[in-house]
Structure 1
């Protein structure tokens, strides 16, 4: 802990410089936290110093390269930045800006062509990606439209179902009320029947006139009627006969005369042919 405390005090002194270090509670937790902060700060400072040195070195290289180009222009062509015309200076500035935008190392034609080709490839890839995204977007819109239509249909079905359920619920409630009324009426009639039967029993009523006996008698009558039907069909040919024997003989004689007349008529028809 003593070693950590020394590092913390050294770091705090560096951070605050000439200003006094604020008082803080010295314990294991605070020392550990400050020690971690000190290590992180020193690491960041080290990285920053390295980056600064790298930038300084690049700036020095760029300055050296710029001085070299100025010497080349001055010695080879007798040109200097001060001797350039306004359009030439504008063109040179535009060339530098373009090189910076394209991220090329120099202003040679090959560097510009390579950068433009890379940008063209990137543009083509982006256009291809955009077309793919547009297709996916159209498909999503189509599915969204179908989903919205389905949602509308489902909502309509739900509304119809809710309405139908409310109607059926009202009908069911009405049927329940009717059923309650019928059940109450049935209980009342059953009670009245039991009281009536008790009264009839107390008065020594003949069992043959009870409801059950009458129902059984009605069933027997119906069965007998069914048995009589075939017998009636057998007697139908004899229904025209008179119950008197003399009248029956008269009917027979009339039938014979009609039969003879039909025979004569038949013979005449045969002779005519």
Structure 2
């Protein structure tokens, strides 16, 4: 079964703060399997006594009726005190709600006690400060015969400056040691602040340099981007022109193909010889080129036989003449070899 809501939105009187649970404390839970009893819708918190009886019937076994009644009384008095003359808002009366409200009551009372202790401590300190001030004033008045009214204008100004300095430096007393310690602390803080300012100035300078470099890079990138855009526009224009030309060529090619087909049909119907067609002429041209190449090869073979005599007798005469020339050349060659041999022998003898 679903658990009922812990509390509705209780509206406190104006100027009153809602009490908070202490840190680390959780709201108590009902035992497993136990459902929290609820009052009928529209019943007010004034029926706490009747709700107390229902809670005793279905509440925790560890709580006695007297303890629960005491809780209810404390909660009732605390709610009346909290809301003063205003009516207490309605809420579901069950064990979980009672436990939660009781925890709030305890925490509120504990906080009020802490606040009262703090107030008493502050009052005691104020009384001590007043007594010390009266004592110091009596010492100044009786021993040194000094009072704020008896000081000169310049003395009053110095006193005011001393007081302001003490307030600014937050010294414990007006001794020189306290002033020196406070001034030393302020000097250290000033030195630390100056160092921090220098570091921040250096960081600012580095940031400015980085920002300048970034701006220059951004400017360069913008220029490059403009160039790329211009180049893309030019390329797009070229591409568009090429597409148009391609489409024109496609259309022209299709038109020429249709015209060629029509012309071929006309030539076919007019009885044109197929050997006069372009394909036939191309084939004949290729054959002619092949035959011309073969003729060149044959001519080279025939050139070897062009110097031969026209009949056999003349051929024999030519052969005899060639033999005689060969014999004469052999004799000359032999003589030259003999002469060279003789010269070599003479050279060796010398």
| Equivalent of 2:82 in 15, 21, 37 | 15
Cα separation, 2, equivalents of 1:130 and 1:176: 66
Change (3 A) 1:22 1:222: farther
Q: Note the residue ranges of structure 2 that are not aligned, 5 or more in a row.
A: 1-50, 53-67, 304-350
Which residue of the partner structure matches residue 157 of structure 2? 90
Change (3 A) 1:147 1:191: same
Matched, 1:152 2:219: yes
Which residue of the partner structure matches residue 64 of structure 1? 131
Change (3 A) 1:34 1:169: farther
- Correspondence list, 1:68-217, <5 A: 68-201=135-268, 205-217=272-284
Cα separation, 2, equivalents of 1:153 and 1:78: 81
Distance apart, 1:67 and its partner CA:
2.2
Distance apart, 1:47 and its partner CA:
4.5
Distance apart, 1:43 and its partner CA:
5.7
Distance apart, 1:122 and its partner CA:
0.5
Distance apart, 1:201 and its partner CA:
4.6
Cα separation, 2, equivalents of 1:72 and 1:13: 53
> Partner of 2:159: helix, strand, or coil?
helix
Distance apart, 1:178 and its partner CA:
1.6
By relative contact order (CA 8 Å, sep 6+), the higher-ranking structure is 2
Cα separation, 1, equivalents of 2:216 and 2:193: 34
Distance apart, 1:115 and its partner CA:
0.5
Distance apart, 1:6 and its partner CA:
4.2
Cα separation, 1, equivalents of 2:82 and 2:271: 125
Kept in 2: contact 1:99–1:107 (CA 8 A): yes
Cα separation, 1, equivalents of 2:103 and 2:262: 103
Cα separation, 2, equivalents of 1:57 and 1:211: 130
Cα separation, 2, equivalents of 1:98 and 1:133: 30
Distance apart, 1:179 and its partner CA:
1.1
Which residue of the partner structure matches residue 252 of structure 1? none
Cα separation, 2, equivalents of 1:222 and 1:62: 133
Higher helix share: 1
Cα separation, 2, equivalents of 1:50 and 1:229: 135
Change (3 A) 1:220 1:125: farther
Cα separation, 2, equivalents of 1:35 and 1:229: 129
Kept in 1: contact 2:79–2:88 (CA 8 A): no
Distance apart, 1:76 and its partner CA:
3.2
* Count of paired positions: 231
Cα separation, 2, equivalents of 1:228 and 1:116: 123
Cα separation, 2, equivalents of 1:178 and 1:222: 38
Q: Which moved more, 1:212-221 or 1:57-66?
A: 212-221
| Equivalent of 1:25 in 83, 87, 90 | 90
> Once superposed, what is the RMSD of the aligned Cα atoms?
3.6
Which residue of the partner structure matches residue 254 of structure 1? none
Kept in 2: contact 1:12–1:21 (CA 8 A): no
Distance apart, 1:227 and its partner CA:
8.0
- Correspondence list, 1:225-264, <5 A: none
Cα distance per residue 1:89-110 (max 9 Å; x no partner): 3322321221111011001111
Cα separation, 2, equivalents of 1:53 and 1:227: 136
Change (3 A) 1:41 1:161: farther
